[in-house]
Structure 1
Amino acid sequence: MKKITLSIAVAAVMSVTSLFAQSVEQGKKFYYYERFNSAKAEFEKALASNPNDVIATYWLGQTLLELKDTAGAKALYQKGLTTSNNAPAMLVGMGQIELNEGKKDDARQRFETALNLTKNKDVNIMAAIGHAIVDSKAGDAQFVIEKLTPVTQAKDFKSPEVWTVIGDAYRKLGDGGSAVQSYQKALNIDPKYAGAEYRIAKLYMTQGNKDIFLPALEQSVQMDPGFAPAYYELYYYWFNRDINKAKDFYEKFMAVSDPNPNNDYEKTSIIFASGNYDNAISTAQGYITSQGDKADPRYYKLIAYAYDAKKDSVNAKSYLDQYFAKQKAENFVPKDYAFKAELLSKFPGNETQALQAYEQAIAADTSKTEKLELMNSAAGLSKRLGNRAEEAKWLGQIYYTDPKSTKTDLYNYGYAYYQAKVYDSSVAIFGKYKELYPEEIYGYLWSARSYAAIDTTMANGLAVPDYQKFVEVAKKTDSVKMKSLIIQSLYYLASYSNDIKKDKDAAIGYLQQVVALDPTNTDATQIIEKLKKPAKQPAAAPQKKATGNSGTSTKSSGGHTAK
């Protein structure tokens, strides 16, 4: 009888232990899907049954960090260190907290201790350390690569998570190629590991390469229909492109994600994107009224966008001002500042603040593609405001930021400075144009015009070499198409030769080129005739009678002695 009782007891314990394990595994799965509230509930369930479960404690701490409860995670790991006698997982968790606090040496020591305790063989601990380091601004990504890569060479290695963390480390270092290779290796181990495919998509999103990131996002949800983050990115991509597609992806996202106050905001956003601006305004105002101070500040922004779409700039600005007053600084996105800039530009006297808003937008953005779009918008706004120097500044940033910059971009950059009358800068930029494109006319032409604007009297002849080179290159390029510009340049050179250098022959030579290009040009012909005429000798001055006995004689104005 005792034996039977004991067997029942053992079975009961094993059953409970199995349930604990199921809760932890289910919690980890929810965490992977970014369903953090569901993950938190599972880990808390496991800890309620076994408060000393180190793995459940570690993952609950990770979940709290994702839910922005850093204080809760820190307290949990501090307690876990004591109750578990410095278990490796607790050392990693606490090291992550310290790394985020800027205590890099303390964190490094905890990570090294955890590695030593597990003899560098526990793949889960190594992946946890890698995640902690990569996820922190102060983390040393190279350390992750050096520590984790050797582990992947083991015969029994089967962890897509480790390869994913290595990929994250490479991405943090800016090595996108190695990052993609690492994610692909994770997929080789587990072809349904959507997290790796999703990361490939996110990497190419930063490059604006939709030909790769869109199929990768779609592939990730085909691999795992429960992978909510990919559905959300697809919804977000299509939001401003095809609201029906966006709505479909958002419904799929909702089906596999946790209930969240953000869901109400996104639903309201879909109403706005559908063009039903009045309904979007009233819906957002309803949430603001019902939720009071707890209302998502983005409702104010959404209302501002709706009023702007209705051409009501006054109300749009009012609600956007409220959004900026209520939103936390870390939650602003670059387009918030861009929208602010465009709204401010509609109110005279706010031009400076509008351009400063673009500065903030670009400083906040990390995507090169987004930065370039914002810079172009800032340049466009500057031009509309008549601030050509500010436009030139932005065009310069675009030229030096965009690897695909062309000679047209360089020309626009220099021309904006010319229009702004900042001639030293336009000279420098068109000087670069001449260097890069010596067979093109525009560098010589606008360098010459810039120098001419500096040397207005022609006294220093600054523009002469560029005008001469322009004429030479333009004639080779297309003397018929460029005829008027060539003639203008030849007139300039003729004036300089005659008026400054006093070289009539050179002036006549330039004017003869004008006539050769345009035989009907009577002005050039008449000037040539005048220049060819011999200079008139000045008339001799009348002699003056000598007075007294001075005995001196006078000279004519022409310098001849009067007899």
Structure 2
Amino acid sequence: MNKIKAALFFLTTMLVVNFVNAQSIEDGKKFFYYEKYKSAKGVFEKLVAANPNNVDAVYWLGQSMIAPDDNKDIAGAKELYRKTLEANSNSALLTAGMGHIELLEGKTQDARNRFETAISLSQGKNIAVLNAIGAANSDFNIKNGDGAYAVEKLKLATTLKGFKDPETYCLLGDAYRKLADGGGALTAYQNALTIDPKYARAKYRIGKIYLTQGITQQDIYMQYFNDAIALDANYIPVYYTLYDVYYKYNVVKAGEYLEKYLVLMGEDEPQACYFRTTIKYAQGLFAETVTQAESCIAAAGTTADPRLYGLIGYAKDKLNDSTGAKSAFEKFFQFQKPEKIGPTDYETYSRILLKFPGNEALAGTYINKAVEADSTEAGKVTLLKSVAVKYEAQKNYGEAANWYKKIVDLKKVPSKTDVFNAGYSYYRSGNPQASIDVFNIYTQKFPEDVLGFYWVGKASWVIDTTMTLAMANPAFEKVIQLGEPMTDKSKIKTQLMTAYKYMIIYDANIKKDKPGALDYTDRAFLLDSTDVDVRNYKTSIPKLNMNATPAKPKTNAPPTPPAPPAKPATTKPATGATVPKANTTKAAPAKKK
């Protein structure tokens, strides 16, 4: 009797195992096709538990472990393949799978050796093995995958006897896309549909080709996405893509596609609560965003998606709750992985920090992180400028200048405005030497523009208030040299008049050159005969009794800039009658646009 029971038990077990093997490999692959990797993993885990040497199940289990964009278990998949290969060393499929792992680890040559070994073991006649090699090398998330190698091996698969696998052609299309060969990709996807006209993935992939070409191709890619849904209403990836497409300009439509995606994904999407909260935020329902995000966090506990804290921070910032926003962002940065933090996160948090005195240095740290995270020059400049403008609004011109200077240093071709903003901010902050250094950059890049020389002169005059070092002379003489030949002097009148007045005062009080002072006075008078300072000079300079030997009268030619003194002068200005200084306390000019 016991022998009969044992025999029946064995027979029943074998029937169950055979049924699972016959049905569930394809069931698991179907979940994988729909990108329900958690469900796929569950199926393959049961198969492997029933038979650890089921190499097909082991291969697909490993693929399910490394497929998700988030939470890839590369180490776990590698150990799975390694352990199974010990007992199945001639498995071409697992060898190819191990090559996939090595590509993910950046071991390009080791991976290639694995792939070639797998081809040798299968004599190049196993479609599943060639597909595995193609999938690894056409994976968009693997930068060192070889698209051309994938094309070569996948083409080989299509030539094998009895070939009729649409997956191969879809992988071939992916490989062509990786090579930026849209035409080759389109043909491959169309070939997949020739084999299986209901293969929704191929229609979806064609739509993705046109999606990369921008909004001008909207009618085309939407047609293909809708075709994919018509072929298979359960094809999940298309719904997420449509949610993403509409999110920026039609949040209601985006929400509809998101809900379809989440319903089909079920438990395979652990962050469904987060996604539904993003729609609240996108709809401008900021109070509801906070409430729902807090509910999601309470339900998930320690496994809550850190992005929920970020959403609370953004929403509370919109609600003008700076304290709440600051607290939420602190938790976001505490729990989120650094590689998942974007430049906007850093920039927003730094802007919020600036609302709390004493956090300026910390805010600067985060904006620097934002700049590092942004991949574009334009994006980096926007971030730097956002902080500079903030400091400028607070009249903290020194810090504003430092951030404007970072823009100058960052840009390959800084504009006049970029350099001006930095130099002028340093001037307003009371740091004339830094202003001179920046405006010297301006004069080098734009040598025909009066403005740079003017501000070098102004800042130099702040340092050399007595004019005894003649620091501002070369710059102001250059202003005159550039400005006088201009037919329309209306735009540079302020700069030119300031240069004239400086030279009048210098020649009269320091150089004791009455003819020179009068010459500059006459030039200034021609520019603006109503100027009070100039009218006073015309009256007072002829009356001066100058002790120094008069210099030779200047001609109409632009003056030659004097050489700077080797070291600061130590003699005091001569006493006696002096020309009154020009009125230099006028309101600062508006920022250059």
Q: TM-score band (shorter)?
A: 0.7 to 0.9
| Structure 1 Cα separation of the partners of residues 123 and 410 of structure 2 | 46
Among 327, 338, 353, which residue is 1:344 paired with? 353
The 5 Å alignment of 1:433-452 reads 433-452=442-461
Partner in structure 1 of residue 560 of structure 2: none
Q: Does 1:244 align with 2:252?
A: yes
Distance 1:323 1:412 in 2: 34
Question: Does 2:114 match 1:110?
Answer: yes
Q: How far off its partner does 1:27 sit?
A: 4.1
Q: Pick the aligned partner of 2:279 from 249, 270, 274.
A: 270
Equivalent residue for 2:64?
Answer: 63
User: Is the Cα contact below 8 Å between 1:217 and 1:230 reproduced in 2?
Assistant: no
Q: Equivalences for 1:445-524 in 2 at 5 Å?
A: 445-475=454-484, 476=486, 478-524=488-534
With the length of structure 2 as denominator, give the TM-score of the two structures: 0.71
Residue deviations 1:325-344 (CA, integer Å, cap 9, x gap): 33344443333322321222
The letter for the 2-side match of 1:499 is N
Deviation at 1:53?
A: 4.8
- Give the C-alpha shift of residue 516 in structure 1: 0.4
- 1:421-460 Cα deviation digits (max 9, x unpaired): 4545543443343344344332232233333344444334
Per-residue deviation, 1:227:
6.5
SS of equivalent to 2:512: coil
Aligned pair partner of 1:224 in 224, 228, 232: 228
Provide Cα deviations, 1:352-405, integer angstroms capped at 9, x if missing partner: 112212122333344555444433323333334544444344434445656786
Gaps in structure 2 of 5+ consecutive residues: 1-16, 160-167, 191-201, 549-593
Normalised by the length of structure 1, the TM-score is 0.74
Call closer, same or farther: CA 1:347–1:124 in 2, change over 3 Å.
Answer: same
Q: Could you say if the C-alpha distance between residues 16 and 309 of structure 1 is closer, same or farther in structure 2, counting changes exceeding 3 Å? A: closer
SS in 2 for 1:224: helix
Cα gap change, 1:478/1:245 in structure 2, threshold over 3 Å: closer, same or farther? farther
Q: 1:221–1:227: 8 Å Cα contact kept in structure 2?
A: no
Q: Within 5 Å, which residues of 2 pair with 1:376-415?
A: 376-399=385-408, 406-415=415-424
2:21–2:47 CA contact under 8 A, matched in 1: no
- Note if contact 1:43-1:56 (Cα within 8 Å) is conserved in structure 2: yes
* Pairs within 5 Å for 1:121-270: 123-131=130-138, 135=141, 140=144, 144=146, 147-148=149-150, 159=169, 161-162=171-172, 164-165=174-175, 167-168=177-178, 179=179, 181-190=180-189, 192=202, 194-195=204-205, 198=208, 211=215, 218=222, 221-222=225-226, 224-225=228-229, 228=236, 231-232=239-240, 235-236=243-244, 239=247, 242-254=250-262, 257-259=265-267, 260-270=269-279
Supply the AA of the counterpart residue of 2:280: I
Q: Sort the Cα spacing of 1:125 and 1:304 in 2 relative to 1 into closer, same or farther, 3 A.
A: closer
Report what 1:431 is aligned to. 440
Alpha-carbon RMSD across the aligned residues, in angstroms, is 4.1
**Do 1:198 and 1:230's aligned partners in 2 also have CA atoms closer than 8 Å?**
no
How far apart in 1 are the matches of 2:82 and 2:371? 39
Tell me, in whole angstroms, the C-alpha distance in 1 between the residues paired with 2:235 and 2:466: 72
Pair 1:491–1:150, CA change in 2 (3 A): farther
Alignment match, 1:559: none
Amino acid at match of 1:69: D
Q: Distance in 2 between matches of 1:213 and 1:364?
A: 30
Q: What is the alpha-carbon distance in structure 2 between the residues aligned to residue 324 and residue 233 of structure 1? A: 28
CA displacement at 1:519 relative to structure 2: 1.8
Correspondence for 1:525 among 535, 543, 546? 535
Tell me, yes or no, if the aligned pair for 1:194 and 1:220 is still in contact at 8 Å: yes
Relative distance call for 1:118 and 1:434 in structure 2 (3 A) is farther
Aligned residue for 1:319?
A: 328
Q: Match for 2:341 among 316, 332, 344?
A: 332
* Change in CA separation of 1:419 and 1:466 when aligned onto 2, cut-off 3 Å: same
Question: How far apart in 1 are the matches of 2:155 and 2:409?
Answer: 42
Which residue pairs with 1:176 in the alignment?
none
Aligned counterparts of 1:336 and 1:537: Cα–Cα separation in 2: 68
Q: Which amino acid aligns with 1:187?
A: L
State the percentage of identical aligned residues: 31
SS in 1 for 2:277: helix
2:27 to 23, 26, 31: 23
CA shift in 2, pair 1:438/1:528, >3 Å: same
CA separation of 1:184/1:230 partners in 2, compared to 1, >3 Å: closer, same or farther?
farther
> Is the Cα–Cα contact under 8 Å of residues 512 and 547 in structure 2 kept in the other structure?
no
Mapped partners of 1:405, 1:537: distance in 2:
49
Counterpart in the other structure of 1:280: 289
Question: CA 1:404/1:233 → structure 2, altered by over 3 Å: closer, same or farther?
Answer: farther
The question of whether the paired residues in 1 share the 8 Å contact of 2:138 and 2:175 is answered with: yes
In the alignment, the residues of structure 1 paired with residue 87 and residue 293 of structure 2 have an alpha-carbon distance, to the nearest angstrom, of: 48
Please point out which of 282, 289, 304 is paired with 2:313. Answer: 304
Unmatched 5+ residue regions in structure 1?
1-12, 169-178, 205-209, 539-563
- Residues of 1 paired with 2:219 and 2:415: CA distance? 30
What number of residue pairs does the alignment pair up? 502
In structure 2, C-alpha distance between the alignment counterparts of 1:493 and 1:119, rounded to whole Å: 90
Whole-Å Cα distance in 2 between the matches of residues 230 and 375 of structure 1? Answer: 37
Q: Distance in 1 between matches of 2:241 and 2:385?
A: 25
8 Å CA contact 1:239–1:246 kept in 2: the answer is yes
**Secondary structure of residue in 1 paired with 2:34:** helix
Alignment CA distance shift 1:477-1:48 (3 Å): farther
- Paired position in structure 1 for 2:9: none
Distance change (3 Å), C-alpha of 1:57 and 1:448: farther
Q: Which moved more, 1:70-79 or 1:448-457?
A: 448-457
> Equivalent residue of 1:261, what SS?
coil
